[in-house]
Structure 1
Amino acid sequence: MEIENIEEAQVTAVSTEGSNSVAVEINEAAGIREFTAQELAKIEQHITWYSQDALKLKEEASRENTRCIYRVLPKQKEINGNLYKPSTVSIGPYHYGDSDLRANEEYKWRCLGSLLAKTQSVGETYKQYLKEIAQLEGQIRDCYSEEIDLDEFLEMIVRDGCFIIELFRTFGSHRPPEEPLTTMEWILPYVYRDFLLLENQLPFFVLETLFEITRMPADGDLPSLFVLALRFFQKAMRVPDEFIDRSASANLRPLHLLDLVRSSLIPADLVPPNSVRYPGTQVFPCVSKLRSAGIEIRPGQAESFLVVKVENRVIEMPSIAMNDFMKYLLFNCVAFEQCHKRITKHLSVYATFLHCLVNTDNDFDYLYERKVFYLGADAELTGFINKLGKDLLFDIDSCYLSKLFNDVNQFYRI
């Protein structure tokens, strides 16, 4: 049958699925499909979903540039147990309210009270602290890798920050401690560790802000917050005054206290060879095998235990204290480097270096007898070193020990 004088033929197609029928008109001449109202509603819904997802991804990418305080990766927690959990005090939101830490909250209030008691108007001063920190709330929240849902967020930040600063002023200034803080000296070995846990941090700019707004006339001769903080940890780190002076002049910009101590351990000239790569770099055998190949390990002299050298079949390693503080510090520095993309991986590389050297108790004992390791000689430390360097990610071809890895392997093969 012929159809004349018709420019467009309309064909109605009926699609049936179950008991629902949908009519769709198709313009054969133009090839344009006209959607039904039901289909258009679904398309709009999907567009809304995708737009929201795209916005979330954009926000996530933006936060990636500001976050610096993380939850430790689950695989690391599986390996290393409680080395990331505070034992005495919580700092920041991640462990706020933990039942086993509540009893020690009184020490924070004691420090805050000691600080406020030096002012003329306690209530007004505390409100001023809150107002100053409230202006930074958005920046503070952006530093954490998780959304923080906490009504007392600002109060917690001020209380924890003032607690840290009062301890620094009291025990990091070389002044005799004042009442009522003299009775808190017993807590120091525990807070040394707790203040350097990755999940137990405040942004450093918060501490700087509180340090400035809580200054008193009598604080005129106090050193900077940077120096006070390093002096506070000096006894636990077992470093001389020269170390602190050198770190203070290095113009470091720490993200938090853990990053401050980590950065202070990295000499300015100990940078990865960005202009040089060593393709095919491999880790090397343990102490026992190196000794069998005539390669010796001796204690070296350097400003940091990270400065390892090899020359004429001799590896020189600065001594490192294998005590509880160092164990917590190394694990949390490595955890931070594995989470944070915008920093060097010096501690991760060093952890891998130790992991290569120490395979058995005999390997550890050799390094202990040579005084490379000190303050620890039990069998558990071999396991600690093996766990410390397990499954770490970094570019082995361009890390700060790439040349050493290659040189040692060459000596080993000869």
Structure 2
Amino acid sequence: MDLETDQWVVQINEKLKSHESSSMEIQKWEKHCIYALPSCVADLKKKAYEPQTVSFGPYHHMKEHVKAMEEHKHRALIHFLRRCGKPLKFLIESMAKVEQGLGDCYKELDDQWKGKKEKEKENNDHSFLKMMIVDGCFMLEVLRSADRDNNNGGDYADNDPVFSGHGKLYVMPYIKRDMLMLENQIPMTVLEILMEFEGNNNTQNPEFLNELILKFLCPNIPIHRNFGKCLHVLDLFRKSLLQHEPTHPTIIPKKITSSKHHQEQDEIIIPSARELQETGIIFKPSKTHSLKDVSFHGGILRIPSIIIDDSTETTLLNLIAFERMHVGAGNEVSWFVFFMDNIIDNEVDVVILHQKGIIQNALGSDKAVAKLFNSLSKDLAVDREEGGLDIVQVSVCRYCKKPWNKWRANLIETYFRNPWAIVSLVAAIFLFVLTIIQTVYTIVPFYHEDNSNNPSPPAARAFIPRVPRPHL
């Protein structure tokens, strides 16, 4: 083998000569925020990561099962341009300024979409740029459909299959589900440029777009904070689930050495909800819906109330995938799923959490909810050094190890479970006291009678010697 002409050797030598610094590598990885999942993740549940109704971005563009929505995408573009009153040429010029940056957001982007590499692709038709414009306009129109007083906003026909009242009821829920898939994202910059192009006065408010998106995704959840610049819709939705800081104090374990800390963590297996309840722990819903608002204090474990429906599994899997793929995203959602899987073993645990107002089951079957959380944590990795819920687990496990807590819980469960049990306990105590009193009154007279029949001998008289009187 001629090493001088070997293609692989030549490529490695060229990379060595380029002197690519670590700072350049950091900048390269920082640009990525939308990922094609590896097969080891996607194969576990393919339908959870692949859009079923509409595609956004290049990863699933023009696939057979989503091709039917392309017609409606182009209709949305026509409506958008007609409403703006500006030519398409100006929109293309505005979007072309950030085309390279938009492409850098995608990891492992195929060469057919790399429109800026003119030397590698002479007949560049800017297919990536066109796709961003069409998909962005459609997404913006979908978002605005939830913000209009009337269903079609006066711009679409009453029998429109997507933007009418009928479409809002039967089509929008599926579009919403697809918008929360990691592989089906477009950069938030696309929506920002579109709003700026049409001359929207609200573009000066950085939170206007965030509020528009959240109003569509979760209209019943109030917004209590500013989210700032977000990467895409999934990133914003994740931040909305974590928007509150914990509102209740948490027992902080005593500081221990690092080696002992890791050893203790490896042995931590938090019991199920049923076992925790038997130990005397009380479940209560948190005052906020933030997944970070899980706390344990004074025997009370507070968990945010969550709704489990048909879209929960898909949404949580994509949020976990985003935290897994995007460096620096955090692992709060993964930790919450890991925690819920620990305390839910079967349908009995689901029933307990449902009765306490923590789980709102829209699936109908408690067994299905238990199976859902047990499957979500498969191959799930969490960082214990950064996970706040690890402190809660340590505190709960230490509480369970104290025998008095279990004894007290058994006493309450046995004798104070209902009013009749309390009445029975009070009656038993009363009868026991009466029995003692009766026994005492029976023993005391017998003791006095025994003393009267056997008197004690009188005390002996003192001996005084007699002195004879003298004779006179």
| Category of TM-score, reference length = shorter chain | 0.7 to 0.9
**1:256 equivalent in alignment to 2:239:** no
Q: Hey, what does 1:337 align to over in structure 2?
A: 323
Superposition pairs for residues 172-211 of structure 1, below 5 Å? 172-174=147-149, 177-178=152-153, 179-180=155-156, 181-182=163-164, 184-185=167-168, 186-211=170-195
Alpha-carbon shift at residue 400 of structure 1 (Å): 1.9
Within the candidate set 218, 233, 237, 1:234 is matched to 218
Superposition pairs of residues 32-181 of structure 1, within 5 angstroms:
42=4, 48-53=10-15, 62-121=27-86, 125-148=87-110, 149-150=112-113, 152-174=127-149, 177-178=152-153, 179-180=155-156, 181=163
Q: Percent identity?
A: 26
State the Cα distance separating 1:218 from its structure 2 match: 11
Instruction: Give yes or no for contact 2:310–2:363 (8 Å, CA) kept in 1.
Output: no
Q: CA deviation at 1:315?
A: 1.0
Aligned residue in 2 for 1:30 = none
C-alpha displacement of 1:136: 1.0
Name the larger-Rg structure.
Answer: 2
Shift of 1:297: 2.0
State the TM-score, normalized to the length of structure 2.
Answer: 0.70
SS in 2 for 1:82: helix
1:154-211 superposed Cα distances (whole Å, 9 cap, x missing partner): 1111000011112222323556532313253232111111111100000111211112
- 1:349/1:341 CA distance change after superposition, 3 Å: same
Q: Could you tell me which runs of 5 or more consecutive residues in structure 1 were left unpaired when the two chains were aligned.
A: 1-37
- Secondary structure at the residue paired with 1:387? helix
Structure 1 residue 45 displacement after superposition: 6.8
Alpha-carbon distance in 1 for matches of 2:68, 2:328: 37
In the TM superposition, 1:174-323 aligns within 5 A as 174=149, 177-178=152-153, 179-180=155-156, 181-182=163-164, 184-185=167-168, 186-215=170-199, 224-235=208-219, 238-239=220-221, 243-244=222-223, 246-247=224-225, 250-267=226-243, 269=245, 279=262, 280-281=264-265, 282-323=268-309
Q: Which range moved further: 347-356 or 180-189?
A: 180-189
Count how many residue pairs are aligned between Structure 1 and Structure 2: 363
Structure with the higher strand share, 1 or 2:
1
Moved more, 374-383 or 153-162: 374-383
Deviations 1:226-263 (A, max 9, x none): 1111111124xx41xxx22x13xx24321100000101
Report the CA distance between 1:142 and its aligned residue.
0.9
Give a deviation string over 1:364-408, Cα, whole Å, max 9, x none.
Answer: 222223221112332322221112122222321331212211101
Distance 1:298 1:88 in 2: 38
TM-score (ref. length: structure 1): 0.79
Structure 1 residues 174 and 303, CA, compared in 2 at 3 Å: closer, same or farther?
A: farther
CA RMSD of aligned residues (A): 3.1
SS at match of 2:62: coil
- Comparing 319-328 with 189-198, greater Cα deviation is found at 319-328
Q: Does 1:413 align with 2:413?
A: no
Larger helix percent: 2
Which protein has greater RCO, CA pairs closer than 8 Å, 6+ apart? 1
> What 5-or-longer segments of structure 2 have no aligned partner?
114-124, 157-162, 403-472
Q: Conserved in 2, the CA contact under 8 Å of 1:168 and 1:229? A: yes
